[in-house]
Amino acid sequence: MKVLFVMIVLLASRSARSQTLAVHFGFNEYTLDANAKLLIDSFFSVEQQTISMGKIKLSGHCDFIGSEGYNDSLSFRRVMTVKKYLEAGYINPAKIVAATANGKKDPLNENKTAAERQLNRRVEISIVQAGQGTLSSSKENFSLTEKIADTATKAGTSIVLKNMNFYGGTPFLLPESFSTMDELFEVMRVNHNLVIEIQGHICCIASPGDSPYGPTGNGLSEERAKMIYAELTAKGIDPDRVSYKGFGHSMPIYPYPEKTEEERSANRRVEIKIIRK
């Protein structure tokens, strides 16, 4: 049985008006044991007034062992574990303005020793005061979790799923899309009242119609939206909370013919439309 080694460290503040708590995990672990929960409880008890006046930012991290995709997923699970614990006992979900999974991209050290790797296996919980500029002024840089938590996100809002990409001409997800798929599932699982429509779009055709997907004869944009619907419902999301629709090339961000790969990528997208929150 693996033993979870959890260490809580108060980090030196990156700003004079913030407090950061680092929760460290054992190798390949993402659960919190009773001791970890007790230490988080103590921190939130001490910082109660600071928290009431600020917002919470979470960031998950890993050591260098394993692939980038695996560590992205593991750091996401660590962030979600801490997020769910905080929401269950301490704070309104709207207080959490950032929840990011950094994988192994932001190490504190060179990962040369077991002790250094232990320090990198962490979730940082930062209490951020207003005016510190922690979040970009553009909400385009927010994660899906942040956008859903944002009070400005209401019924009718559409959100592009970043890094949701497919093999060319098919509805099958590329491996780099798996972490986005995991985050979408977690958002649906945690936000019980959330109802969405998955909307598929394609690029690179002159008409507003859709490109047919050979095996089914249906439009490719519809098949891609349907694939995400199928992934969510297969994992246990109520089908009544999810629907899907293909829009072909009828709603391009950039006109045909797209001039660059960036324009093609922007048109070849999947969005979710908030039906109820």
Over the chain (277 residues), what is each successive 10-residue block's mean pLDDT? 39 47 90 79 76 82 91 88 86 78 88 91 82 42 83 86 87 88 93 95 90 88 96 96 94 85 85 93
- In DSSP terms, 123 is beta-bridged to 23, 60
| CATH fit for domain 153-276, picks 3.30.1330.60, 3.40.50.720, 3.40.50.2000, 3.40.225.10 | 3.30.1330.60
Identify the pLDDT of residue 2: 39
Tell me the residue type at 66: G
End-to-end CA distance of the chain: 40
Identify the pLDDT of residue 140: 57
Whole-angstrom distance, CA of residue 166 vs CA of residue 267: 13
DSSP letters of 111-156?
--SHHHHHHHSEEEEEEEETTS--S-SSGGGS-HHHHHHSTT--TT
Tell me the residue type at 78: R
Q: Where in the chain is the domain with CATH 3.30.1330.60?
A: 7-129, 153-276
Identify the pLDDT of residue 72: 86
Q: What is the domain class of 7-129 according to CATH? A: alpha beta
**Cα–Cα distances in angstroms (integers) from residue 114 to residues 35, 79, 110, 111, 121, in the given order:** 21, 22, 11, 8, 11
Let me know: does 139 contact 160? Beta carbons within 8 Å.
Answer: no
Let me know: does 273 contact 197? Beta carbons within 8 Å.
Answer: yes
CA neighbor of 192 nearest in space, from 93, 57, 96, 86 = 93
Q: Mention every residue, 6+ apart, whose C-beta is less than 8 A from residue 143.
A: 98, 99, 100, 183
Q: How would you label 40-51 residue by residue, b for 16+ Cβ within 10 Å and e otherwise?
A: beebbeebeeeb
Identify the pLDDT of residue 186: 92
